[in-house]
Structure 1
Amino acid sequence: MSLSPCGIWARVRPAWRRDSWLAREQKDDEAHVQRSTRYFDEFRARQKKTIALFPSNGVSLKAAEQLLHLPDSVVEGPQAIAKGRKPLPPIDELLLAMGEPFPQPGWLPAAFSLLSQVTHSTPTGRAHMARYVDGTLRAHDISPEMLALALDVACLGSARLIGLSYLLLTRGDDTAKQYALGLEERALAVHNTARLVHWLD
Structure 2
Amino acid sequence: MHLLVENKEQREEFMNLWSQIASERKYQVSTLTDSSEAFILKDKTATSVGTIEFVPCDANLLENNDLVDITKETRILQNLKHSYQVRKMGVKKEFASKAILLDLLKLAAMHAKNKQVRFYVSYLEPRHYEKLTETFKFRIEKVGEEVMFGKKKLVPALIDVEDAIQNTQGYPIYINSIAYLVKGSQKVKAFFA
Q: TM-score range by the shorter chain?
A: under 0.3
More strand by share: 2
Structure number with greater Rg is 1
Give the TM-score normalised by the residue count of structure 1: 0.22
Larger helix proportion of the pair: 1
